[in-house]
Amino acid sequence: MNHLARLDTDRYALPQHARIIVYDGNERELITIYDCGVAQKPPSAQFLGNLGRVDVEHELERTPTGYAVSLRQSAVLEHLGADHYRVSKSPD
């Protein structure tokens, strides 16, 4: 399931109020992305991998099963290969 807007082969647009929920796993994490943290909508994407960095304005909340990242600005989700991902500044 991936309904994120694709920018190119390895990059996806994330809206300003996106919320990323990361469930810690042994080798890979379960990453779930919602367009908005307060909207009552199903997730826009869900995949296994590792979220390495978040290089945009955000809030980080630790949970018993992992952590949640609430974005405060538009961003880009970049697939860096080998199931590694990074959230970086949007080109706009």
In the chain, DSSP assigns E strands to 5-8, 11-14, 19-23, 29-34, 45-54, 58-63, 66-71, 75-81, 84-89
pTM: 0.92
Are 73 and 57 spatial neighbours (Cβ–Cβ below 8 Å)? yes
Per-residue pLDDT of the chain (92 residues; tens, 9 = 90+): 588 999 999 999 999 999 999 999 878 899 999 998 777 889 999 999 999 999 999 999 999 999 999 999 999 999 998 899 999 998 76
pLDDT at 90: 86
Residue 59 to residue 78: CA distance in whole angstroms: 19
Q: Which two tokens stand for residue 76?
A: 């880009």
pLDDT at 49: 95
pLDDT at 26: 77
